[in-house]
Amino acid sequence: MTPHPTVAIIGAGPAGVYAADILQSRNEQVHIDLFEKLPAPYGLVRYGVSPDHPRIKKIQDALHDVLESPRIRLVCHVEIGVDVSIAELREAYDAVVIATGADRDVDLGIPGAELPGSFGGADFVAWYDGHPDAPTEWPLDAESVAVIGAGNVALDVARMIISHPEALAATDIPDHVETAFEQNPVRDLHMFIRRGPADVRFAPMELRELGAREDVDVIVDPADMELDDHAQRMVAQFNQRKIIIRTLTEWANTDPTTRTASRRVHLHFYHQPAAILGDDRVTGIELERTAPDELGRIRGTGETVQHHVGAVYRTIGYRSTPVPGVPFDDAAGTIPDQAGRVLDATGGPIPGLYATGWIRRGPVGLIGSTKSDASEAVDSLLADLAEHGPRALPGAADTLRERLAESVGWDGWLRIDAAERSLGAERGRERTKIVHRDELLDHAREKERTR
């Protein structure tokens, strides 16, 4: 009897789960072990999506359905390079797929960026989403805050900071996060965007959500809404940009006398950060005014302005963390590949090693766009498997997995899930997230502990 092929996928977020689902649908014999360094699966959906976005978090339901497959085994609480090496995985499995995503902030690279009170957006998201490796304390103590960036993460960060605690009461935020937001004194939040309003990367719906917050005014300078020829071309060509401009124009034309909210968001276009100010902590931010040329390219004007703020959040992009034993292009922040096949230093494919998701192509696109990326990597994997046959010894994957006695499997995750739902029910919500790694592991191993 021919042994079934075995594949290890590293990362149980959307990219890894989608790859597993596509792989099992295209090969009825393959068995997949899905490795995750945290005690819980779902990656970005669990630890990167804003808690006030339950619609997006519902993606977990679809991922859950995939992981129920008998040919997919979840192996959580296993860190590559610590508990097991890539070399060991490549010996034990016919193929290994890297799908670890992007979890670090891109460096801002200006003076003062490392001052206390200057925060990476990824770190803040990890905190309010209850990531086990995030600190439990966060200094929400500034009345005036700056957010740098023009993407959806910037909007998430801004919306969370400016929200009154009542808006978050029904979400899955952990107790210590809820307490911190109840004490948040913020009154003004300034978003600084180096380009013009026609070139932002906001999703229209997420932008509208910013203005839908109770007791929050959004303020836009009408002068920023005077579109040049380039901006008008962009708006005419792309419907989403048209919706964004319509929303921003509405805010710009709002009668100032009707702005009575206790919290305000100020959108500043054509501002690029030059320095974060302060001695022992953030006290302000200096920005250079920018201007577009006839092709929409942004240049500095030499004119600078300063704003007094007590905290700065840097949300200019994510980058991936290298995986020990896997080639990594530090400049690009990705694994070098060709059609999903990981390439070595000479540019040749490494047998049996593949990559998908943000660690392969960078943090661009929405969660669902990782499906097409996973499809290409799976096509390459199956083509190589058909050409070269199995690489691993029969039973090697089972032997390796048995060695990882401290790992958390599917049943363990279901016990964590049940505990979080029980905590949520006590508070009248769907779930309350458990944060501490030890507590997550205690729930995961509850059955074994009570035997």
- How many CA atoms, within 13 angstroms, populate the side-chain half-sphere of residue 325? 17
- Residues in the chain with pLDDT < 70? 1-2, 365-366, 368, 447-451
Cβ atoms 126, 150 nearer than 8 A? no
- Tell me which of 300, 318, 336 is where a domain ends: 318
Give Cβ neighbours of residue 166 (< 8 Å, ≥ 6 apart): 214
219 is written with which tokens?
């303020």
Residues 307 and 376 in one domain: no
Question: How many residues in the chain?
Answer: 451
pTM here is 0.93
Residues 300 and 195 in one domain: yes
Residues 45 and 174 in one domain: no
pLDDT in tens, 244-288: 999 999 999 999 999 999 999 999 999 999 999 999 999 999 999
Q: Range of 58's domain?
A: 6-103+320-407
Distance (Å, rounded) from C-alpha 313 to C-alpha 330?
A: 24
Residue 367 is predicted with a pLDDT of 72
- Tell me which of 293, 318, 343 is where a domain ends: 318
Residue 366 is predicted with a pLDDT of 67
Residues 251 and 302 in one domain: yes
- How many CA atoms, within 13 angstroms, populate the side-chain half-sphere of residue 253? 8
Residue 422 is predicted with a pLDDT of 96
Strands 284-292 and 271-277: antiparallel
Residues 211 and 294 in one domain: yes
Residues 99 and 112 in one domain: no
Burial class of 427 by CB neighbour count within 10 A (0 to 12, 13 to 18, 19+) = middle
Total number of domains constituting the chain: 2
Residues 139 and 50 in one domain: no
Residues 298 and 157 in one domain: yes
The domain that contains 331 carries what CATH number?
A: 3.40.50.720
Residues 108 and 243 in one domain: yes
Residues 163 and 233 in one domain: yes
- Tell me which of 291, 318, 345 is where a domain ends: 318
Residues 208 and 286 in one domain: yes
Which DSSP letter does residue 110 get? S
The domain that contains 242 carries what CATH number?
A: 3.50.50.60
